[in-house]
Structure 1
């Protein structure tokens, strides 16, 4: 199997990050990596806060939050007046779950690609309401038409009160046709929450045209924002129904102010987030996307070749800009979440390589991410050493 040609590095891009040079950090998708310039912008905001905390919190903070929110919303094509800054996608999903009315006869529909913490939040919300969580299995890989058809068949008009669908699934790195799936759900007046945790900064998106009732995406993964920065976009009919997870002083102002203002929260990640977008645009977003997707594909190919994974078993992304790829691990490895975590830790400890290992569908999946600080030789070295490590690990 040919490994293909890796992309040329983007000049100077690696110097923008403080990643440990002794570690091959091939897992940007989990926690991102904040550019040095953004780190410094955030530190200046922390310094400003500590120089006069009362002034920072009491004079003009709301205006600065609104300015940031408008900046981030414009980047993803969302209505700024219907969007709110939240700490992460899971927090946004929990907010939505708490704002959708559920009765004991109701259900929330998720897929077997749902992110773990979102699935946990859904189960807790349904348990408290006496409602049901139902999971629809979606194959990997699958054509968009099949995905839409399977979700449509799983909907139960009158009972399904919310559909949660990933735009990019974390464990499987699959993309889903959220616009078409949302349209299918709306045929039965079923609202849709799109988990877009990996979308901002990786894929071009126009939230307003997606039709989603709720859309939430992290900016601290692929958009170079400090960790703790995400945007929740809510369609007009739902905005008055949104209730914050914690009540604070802006409660009477309603959404989005009631959600965003949380007293003595550290707002420096949000306020520094536009610097992350500036960094991305300075590098050239089209160039970054092309580089990252090509490098992720290269990494997937060389690792799969080393593990003797047939070409036909490699999931191919529907979107060419995808910067995450998965490689199926040998049968019997990492088949449960604890086993997957243990293997991930072992790879980190023994090879000084950071990856993501997930258990999905009874199979271990190695997920590789690519970012501008990565180099092809990191994937080459990993591919050379991984087979022996897995052989020894199974003994």
Structure 2
């Protein structure tokens, strides 16, 4: 029996979410505390008061200050990291810098985020390289996962391994440190997609040792959207080719990547305010609350769908604030069907969840954040079964 955690006092008031909607999908786009919204708005006001001064002398120093703050929080080398809009942009940046050829391949797991897999396949088509997928079934131990990925590597052919640290569709936690070490034994570079890690899980990027590691701060790190950190190992920094060539190009990585003319830099500059809000509330308190609450939510929704505890996937590690509930067979087994069901749930139940098609089956993904309450999951559990029954007809 999993009991829900006590609510974090006053936490719901820190956000401006619509109170008529159960927002159980923090993992997709995050939700910004009001204090961070205001910090970003002050920066926007400053920018509009004198755009020339804002974009002129001092902007790169301010970006560097934010980058150092965020990188230190993640255990990454600030001088070997760059601020980027999101994980998807970082993946394209790395793929462009790899200089793939017809005899090369990029290896993914079947947990890879859809847009990441799309970017890999697109780049492979451009270069004549091939994209290959290794299946990693749910429920494998860490050792079994490492063994399966290791067996799929092909030295001399595999030019890049792209692996999730915490998979979006399945909420599975991968033993990335061990996977990176296994690939390193065969001199195969690794890109770790850690989109959901910053803020949710404690992480030390330097210990993972990946050639490339990228995580979004605008999900669980409470930063404005459009804030992610890409860390690059020393051997690759001079080989990074920015997607946009602008005035800082001759400075090399990371400045050449970060400066892109007159884009909006206020998300990056306001990002430390997100970490400040998180730490003020209590980082460990937030993490413990979110894991306990999403575990409760998975249980009650799973029980409502007549699933036994053994049928509910566990992420494979502590602290994960997302869980999935397998849907009845024949529901949301394709991407369009999953999107349609998610929208139907939003419209009919006033509940925002994620629905993904994975391995031929639909998975409903729940998230938990400090603004959520146990009764939101209880209500979803009560109303979801009849909705799914009607949706199938």
Specify if TM > 0.5. Answer: yes
Mapped partners of 2:319, 2:171: distance in 1: 12
Match of 1:360 in 2: 358
Pick one of 209, 215, 218 that aligns with 1:217. 215
Match of 2:117 in 1: 119
Deviations 1:302-334 (A, max 9, x none): 000000012111111222100000000000000
SS of corresponding position for 1:367: strand
Match of 2:312 in 1: 314
Pick one of 345, 348, 362 that aligns with 1:347. 345
Match of 2:11 in 1: 13
Pick one of 175, 192, 198 that aligns with 1:177. 175
Gaps of 5+ in 1: none
Mapped partners of 1:220, 1:371: distance in 2: 13
Mapped partners of 1:288, 1:11: distance in 2: 11
Runs in 1 of length 4+ with deviation above 4 angstroms? none
Match of 1:303 in 2: 301
In the alignment of these two chains, the number of paired residues is: 393
Deviations 1:100-158 (A, max 9, x none): 12110110000100000010110011111100000000000110001000000000000
SS of corresponding position for 2:310: helix
Deviations 1:212-269 (A, max 9, x none): 0000000000000000000000000000000110101000000000000000010000
SS of corresponding position for 1:231: strand
SS of corresponding position for 2:202: coil
Match of 1:89 in 2: 87
Match of 2:268 in 1: 270
Deviations 1:79-112 (A, max 9, x none): 0000000000000111000001211011000010
- TM-score normalised over the length of structure 1: 0.99
Match of 1:47 in 2: 45
Gaps of 5+ in 2: none
Is 1:36 the counterpart of 2:34? The answer is: yes
Pick one of 162, 165, 169 that aligns with 1:164. 162
Pick one of 160, 185, 193 that aligns with 1:187. 185
Mapped partners of 1:339, 1:212: distance in 2: 35
- TM-score normalised over the length of structure 2: 1.00
Match of 2:104 in 1: 106
Match of 1:390 in 2: 388
Mapped partners of 1:147, 1:43: distance in 2: 44
Mapped partners of 1:343, 1:320: distance in 2: 29
Pick one of 322, 325, 331 that aligns with 1:324. 322
TM-align CA RMSD: 0.5
Query: How far does residue 197 in structure 1 lie from its aligned partner after superposition?
Result: 0.1
